[in-house]
């Protein structure tokens, strides 16, 4: 479909449905919506009030759901941060875009600061397409698609960036390991625990407020802009080590994690209010999380509600995430959509709405949710659950078949790491990697989102669903072109010793001699 056709079609639709807003500030020349993705870090399916969290820390998100579309069946592209983010921004599964490793069979990999690789130049990212379509693009928050210069967000479609390339682990001593830098655009502004404080004892940090301020400033800078914008807002306070501003510390009923939730929710409210106050409601906003809650945080992290297990696993607790869309005048308020969605769909939806063609030289896993948002129509689609490049499970219709099962390996369990604490389902939550392709475990997710009750193998229902699933997986894998694995190699020398801009801050550190090794991925 050509750009002209899409634009004409959209305008026609707008005129016919009377949805053209009377907003005096609207761009006469460009009716295309702005886009915002608010992507949380390790926030679980059950962490929002609207998703049942008993402490009800999220009045702004609950209201956002009432004003927009709640998606109770929305998935990430992976159960861990970097691959999930890479999937969202490329519209493609990590197995295709290369965000995996083959070092450890069927294990998850990500981008710690010793990682050598990052997002490939061969991948086309959503911000690149939107920029091509004339959008102004901004990243505020964590990147996590590689921290070395060639992987910087500014070289992969973003006009501006404020935030960090990696997780805010630390504090480090800057000798064995450097602290993680925080960038503005191409230059570091300082480092976590040095210039951007997180008090590990009290949990106090004003960093979420900084990120909210940055987002609001960006929006204000766009009020009179002639081009639409794309803002990717990725705060990380709900990822361990959790933190919150003084204003929110001790305010929740469930400790620091709840305090962080309250501040993130408050920030969501600030951003939506900035849109309203500036007559910028021709903006499609998606709120979601990069993966399920990290249950290894042992009651100090988030909640996946009734879903099975957490981050790192291919159970629902790893992949299904709280998701809300908000698009005043276009998506009917108070909608609950049972569209099965994935974050890769944002790539396709936003690209289409921006009038750009979807790349046709590669497989894109995302589907276009525009009609679903506008009129609730449902598109049938399957979901694939990988660990690394190993396909572990598939959702076909409302049935999920597990062809490999794996929770946490015994040596990790021995270290106190448990991705499925307190959960023990025969044939399903296995600490060993077990191939069940011959007799998959089949779950009816509509009746049983917690994956507690398996379809008996002797039933017709089981056989029917298994056969359907085999066919869908056959379609999916037989022409699969796997990306070159980007997360195989580590090297202490590539860590954030001397990020660009360190000279001006007198904060350049000396890297050790390069000594690449295959990264070890424990689960």
Give the residues lining the site for its own copies (CB under 8 A): 46, 49-56, 66, 70, 72-73, 253-255, 257-258, 298-300, 303-306, 308, 336, 338, 398, 421-425, 444, 446-450, 452-453
Reported in sequence order, the residue ranges of 293-406 that DSSP labels E, i.e. its strands, are 323-326, 335-336, 341-342, 383-387, 390-396, 399-402, 404-405
The nearer residue to its own copies, 9 or 250, going by C-beta atoms, is: 250
As beta bridge partners, residue 277 has none
The nearer residue to its own copies, 246 or 253, going by C-beta atoms, is: 253
Distance of closest approach, residue 270 Cβ to its own copies, in angstroms: 21
CA angle 36, 37, 41 (to 5 degrees): 150
Taking alpha carbons only, the member of 223, 324, 238, 339 closest to residue 280 is 223
Residues 498, 499, 505, 511: what is their CA dihedral angle, to the nearest 10 degrees?
Answer: -10
Spatial contact of 518 and 488, defined as CB atoms under 8 Å apart: yes
As beta bridge partners, residue 196 has 192
Give me 394's structure tokens: 């598939």
Distance of closest approach, residue 224 Cβ to its own copies, in angstroms: 36
Distance of closest approach, residue 45 Cβ to its own copies, in angstroms: 8
Spatial contact of 86 and 125, defined as CB atoms under 8 Å apart: no
The nearer residue to its own copies, 220 or 446, going by C-beta atoms, is: 446
The nearer residue to its own copies, 75 or 151, going by C-beta atoms, is: 75
The nearer residue to its own copies, 450 or 499, going by C-beta atoms, is: 450
Distance of closest approach, residue 418 Cβ to its own copies, in angstroms: 10
As beta bridge partners, residue 324 has 70, 287
Distance of closest approach, residue 368 Cβ to its own copies, in angstroms: 23
> Among the options 7, 107, 144, 508, which is catalytic?
144
> Reduced to 3 states, what is the DSSP secondary structure of residue 33?
coil
Task: Respond yes or no: is residue 81 known to be catalytic.
Answer: yes
The count of C-alpha atoms lying within 13 angstroms of the C-alpha of 443, restricted to the half-sphere facing its C-beta, is 24
> Would you give the end-to-end CA distance of the chain in angstroms?
43
- Crossing angle for the helix pair 81-90 and 344-353, nearest 10 degrees? 30
Give me 357's structure tokens: 């063609």
User: Distance between CA atoms of 224 and 506, rounded to whole angstroms?
Assistant: 38
Distance of closest approach, residue 452 Cβ to its own copies, in angstroms: 4
Number of C-beta neighbours around residue 257 at 10 A? 27
The nearer residue to its own copies, 188 or 272, going by C-beta atoms, is: 272
Task: Respond yes or no: is residue 398 known to be catalytic.
Answer: no
Give me 291's structure tokens: 């993966």
Q: Which residues are catalytic?
A: 81, 144
């Amino acid at each position: 479909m050509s750009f002209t056709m899409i634009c004409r079609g959209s305008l026609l639709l707008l005129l016919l449905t009377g949805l053209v807003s009377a907003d005096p500030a609207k761009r006469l020349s460009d009716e295309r919506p702005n886009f915002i993705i608010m992507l949380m870090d390790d926030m679980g399916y059950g962490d929002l009030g609207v998703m049942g969290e008993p402490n009800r820390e999220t009045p702004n998100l609950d209201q956002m759901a009432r004003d927009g579309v709640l998606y109770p069946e929305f998935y990430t592209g992976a159960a861990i941060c970097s691959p999930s983010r890479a999937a969202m921004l490329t519209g493609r599964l990590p197995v295709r875009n290369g965000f995996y490793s083959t070092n450890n069979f069927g294990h998850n990999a990500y981008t710690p600061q010793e990682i050598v690789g990052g997002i490939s130049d061969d991948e086309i990212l959503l911000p690149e397409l939107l920029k091509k379509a004339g959008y102004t693009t901004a990243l505020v928050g964590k990147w996590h698609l590689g921290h070395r210069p060639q992987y910087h967000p500014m070289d992969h479609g973003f006009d501006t960036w404020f935030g960090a390339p990696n997780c805010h682990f630390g504090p480090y001593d800057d000798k064995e390991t450097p602290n993680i830098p925080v960038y503005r655009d191409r230059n570091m502004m300082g480092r976590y625990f040095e210039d951007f404080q997180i008090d590990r004892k009290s949990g106090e940090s004003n960093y979420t407020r900084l990120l909210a301020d940055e987002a609001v400033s960006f929006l204000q800078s766009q009020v009179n802009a002639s081009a639409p914008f794309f803002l990717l807002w990725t705060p990380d306070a709900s990822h361990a080590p959790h933190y919150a501003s003084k204003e929110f510390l001790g305010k929740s009923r469930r400790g620091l994690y709840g305090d962080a939730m309250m501040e993130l929710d408050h920030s969501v409210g600030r951003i939506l209010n900035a849109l309203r106050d500036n007559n910028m409601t021709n903006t499609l906003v998606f709120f979601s999380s990069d993966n399920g809650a990290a249950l290894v945080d042992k009651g100090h992290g988030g909640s996946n509600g009734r879903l099975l297990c957490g981050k790192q696993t291919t159970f629902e607790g790893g992949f299904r995430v709280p998701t809300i869309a908000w698009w005043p005048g276009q998506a009917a308020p108070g909608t609950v959509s049972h569209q099965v969605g994935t974050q890769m769909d944002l790539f396709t939806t936003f690209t289409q709405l921006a009038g750009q063609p979807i790349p046709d030289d590669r497989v894109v896993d995302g589907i276009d949710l525009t009609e679903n948002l506008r009129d609730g129509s449902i598109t049938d689609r399957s979901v694939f659950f990988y660990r690394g490049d190993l396909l572990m499970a598939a959702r076909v219709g409302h049935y999920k078949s597990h062809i490999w099962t794996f929770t946490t390996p015994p040596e990790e369990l021995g270290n106190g790491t448990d991705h499925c604490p307190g959960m023990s389902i025969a044939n399903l939550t296995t600490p060993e990697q077990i191939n069940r392709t011959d007799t998959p475990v089949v779950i009816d997710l509509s009746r049983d989102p917690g994956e507690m009750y398996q379809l008996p193998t002797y039933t017709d229902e089981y056989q029917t669903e298994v056969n359907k699933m085999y066919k869908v997986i056959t379609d999916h894998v037989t022409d699969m072109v796997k990306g070159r694995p980007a997360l195989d190699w580590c090297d202490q020398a590539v860590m954030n010793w001397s990020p660009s801009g360190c000279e001006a801050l007198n904060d350049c550190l000396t890297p050790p001699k390069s000594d690449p090794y295959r990264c070890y991925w424990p689960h």
